[in-house]
């Protein structure tokens, strides 16, 4: 996992370097060094990061689907309202 991928993952989770470090039993300066490419996480930590990434992507997809469903529902309601108001004229 590259430093930019680690940064992207941390930010996508909405975590500070301190909070992210706590997930991996690391110091926040270690996270900073990972993100700058000065150090590499252990294979175990990389595995955990990949699992967090998968979970974040799954949650993002779920939220996107919910928003899509809400927008479709709102569109249906707006269409019904429009039909009802124009039918009375």
Q: What pLDDT shows up at residue 15?
A: 95
- pLDDT value, residue 86: 84
Express each pLDDT in 15-48 by its tens digit.
999 999 999 999 999 999 999 999 999 999 999 9
Into how many domains does the chain fold?
Answer: 1
pLDDT at residue 45, as a whole number: 95
Which residues span the domain enclosing 62? 3-87
Check residue 89 and give its pLDDT.
61
**DSSP three-state, residue 2:** coil
> Per-residue pLDDT tens for 70-85?
889 888 888 888 888 8
Q: How many residues does the chain have?
A: 89
Looking at residue 84, its pLDDT comes to: 84
∠72-78-83 over CA atoms, to 5°?
125
Quote the pLDDT of residue 70.
87
Identify the CATH number of the domain in which residue 48 sits: 1.10.260.40
Q: Phi and psi dihedrals of 61, rounded to 5? A: -65, -40
């Amino acid at each position: 996992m590259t430093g930019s991928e680690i940064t992207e993952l941390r930010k996508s989770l909405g975590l500070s370097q301190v909070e992210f470090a706590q997930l991996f039993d690391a110091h926040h300066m270690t996270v900073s060094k990972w993100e700058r490419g000065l150090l590499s996480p252990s294979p175990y930590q990389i595995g955990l990061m990949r699992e967090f990434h998968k979970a974040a992507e799954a949650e993002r997809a779920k939220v996107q689907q919910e928003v899509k469903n809400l927008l479709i529902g709102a569109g249906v309601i707006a269409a019904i309202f429009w039909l009802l108001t124009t039918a009375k004229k």
